Structure 1
Amino acid sequence: MPNSRYDPSDSRYWEEPESNEDLDPGYYYAEDHYDEDDDSMNTLIEKQAEIIQTLQAKALEDPSPQTIASLTAATLALKNLLEIKQVVDRDGLPTVEELVGILADRNKKGDRND
C-alpha cells in the first residue's frame, strides 16, 4: 500500500462535495480560504527566507552534501513561492484545473526543479 493519501479510485477526488460536512478533513479548498487582504503568503515567504539564512550559516560551519542539498531545496522552494505569489498577485488565485495544467506543462518541459 502506498504512503500517499491519494487514491485515484476514491470518488472523493473526482466529485465535488455537496456540503462542507462532506469534505475530507485532510483536503484544503483554497477558494474557501483565500483572502486578498491575508498576508500569509508574505509570512510564508519570510519564514522560508529565515530557513535559508539558517541553512547558509550551517553550510558555512558544516559544508556537508546533506546541508548543501537542504539549502538548495529551500532556495528552490523560495523561488517557487515567489513565482506563485507573482502569478496570484497578477492573475488572482488559479483554479485546480489551471494548477494541474501548469504542473503538467512543467513536467513535460522537465523544468520541475528550476
Structure 2
Amino acid sequence: MPITIGNGFLKSEILTNSPRNTKEAWWKVLWEKIKDFFFSTGKAKADRCLHEMLFAERAPTRERLTEIFFELKELACASQRDRFQVHNPHENDATIILRIMDQNEENEL
C-alpha cells in the first residue's frame, strides 16, 4: 500500500510493501523513478503498462513492447515526454533502443 504525500497534481506516492520476487523488485524501483512523470489521471494506466511488460504470462513481443513504450510516453506530462527516447545506433531497423532518461538525460532509468 502506498503512502501519499501532497494532493492534486503535485502529490507523490511511496510504496511501502517489500517485493516478493525479482520482477516485483525491478518494477518497484522503476515505478519509483518514473511515477512522477505522470499526472494522477495517467498513473493507473502507466502502472498497468509496466505490469504488462513484467508480469504477463507470456512475454510481450517486440512490437507490443514498442507500443507500451509509446503509450507511456503519451501518458507522461508534456514536460517529461522528452525523457522517452528512441535510439537507433546503427541507423537501421535491426537495433532500436527505447530508453527512459533521468532528469539530466545522462543516465537511463
Instruction: Output the TM-score relative to the length of structure 1.
Output: 0.28
Q: Which has the higher contact order (CA 8 A, sep 6+)?
A: 1
Q: Which structure's residues are more often helix, by fraction?
A: 1
Q: TM-score, normalised by structure 2?
A: 0.30
Answer with 1 or 2: which has the greater Rg. 1
Higher share of residues assigned strand: 2
